[in-house]
């Protein structure tokens, strides 16, 4: 079975990813595919809220830099792309209208690190826990390599 290293709330995604034929891991250094699913842990402490967003992406950046990863799939709600563009002529650039902008910027940095490391990168907007089409897009992206 092909290994997928999952960053984020592993328990929430493990079932549907395994049903798609992948071996899910939260600590396997040999996985050739990476899935990052950020999540809102709804903590009232702003610093603890980062545990569901920035922390998984930072851990994934490190993983991609030190392992041979062929495929990176990042799932985002896209909230950081709302509002007026801060960069002219860049409609998909992150904004800093609210805290979501920092998460979106971090995801752009992660995508660039993965591309430079030779991985195929796919960014998918949606919620795989509630949207079948999002799960299908994720699985299709993981199977491309």
Domain ranges of the chain: 2-143
Residue 128: name the closest of 73, 60, 59, 62 by CA: 73
For residues 3-22, average pLDDT: 92
Q: Smallest Cα–Cα separation from 17: which of 106, 141, 111, 105?
A: 141
pLDDT beyond 90 at 141: yes
Residue 83 CA to residue 99 CA, distance in Å, equals 12
| Average pLDDT for 87-106 | 57
Per-residue model confidence as pLDDT tens digits over 57-68:
889 999 999 999
From the CB of residue 72, how many other CB atoms can be counted at a distance below 10 Å? 28
Nearest Cα to Cα of residue 60 among 90, 103, 11 = 103
- Three-state secondary-structure class, residue 120: strand
Of the candidates 123, 28, 13, which has an alpha carbon nearest to the alpha carbon of residue 67?
28
Put simply, whether the predicted model's pTM sits higher than 0.85 gets the answer no
Confidence grade of residue 107 (pLDDT, cut at 50, 70, 90): confident
Whole-number pLDDT of residue 134: 94
**pLDDT exceeds 90 at position 22:** yes
Given a cut of 60, is residue 32 above it in pLDDT? yes
Measure the CA–CA gap between 53 and 37, rounded to whole angstroms: 8
Of 27, 2, 29, nearest to 17 by C-alpha is 2
pLDDT of residue 9: 86
DSSP code string of 11-60: HHHHHHHHHTTEEEESS-TT-SEEEEE------SSHHHHGGGTHHHHHHH
**Average of pLDDT values for 97-101?**
53
Residue 35 or 81, more confident: 35
Highest mean pLDDT among 22-31, 35-44, 81-90, 98-107 belongs to 35-44
Topology annotation, domain 2-143: Rossmann fold (3.40.50)
Rounded to whole angstroms, the Cα distance separating 21 from 35 reads 14
């Amino acid at each position: 079975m092909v290994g997928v290293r999952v960053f984020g709330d592993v328990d929430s995604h493990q079932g549907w990813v395994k049903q798609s034929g992948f071996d899910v891991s939260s600590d396997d250094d040999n996985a050739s595919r990476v899935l990052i699913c950020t999540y809102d842990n709804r903590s009232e402490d702003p610093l603890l809220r980062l545990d569901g967003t920035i922390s998984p992406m930072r851990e994934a950046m490190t993983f991609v830099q030190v392992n041979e990863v062929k495929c990176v799939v990042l799932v985002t709600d896209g909230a950081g792309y709302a509002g007026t563009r801060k960069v002219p002529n860049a409609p998909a650039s992150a904004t800093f209208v609210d805290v979501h902008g920092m998460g979106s910027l971090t995801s752009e940095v992660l995508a660039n690190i993965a591309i430079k490391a030779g991985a195929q990168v796919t960014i998918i907007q949606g919620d795989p826990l509630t949207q079948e089409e999002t799960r299908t897009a994720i699985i299709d992206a993981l199977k491309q390599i």
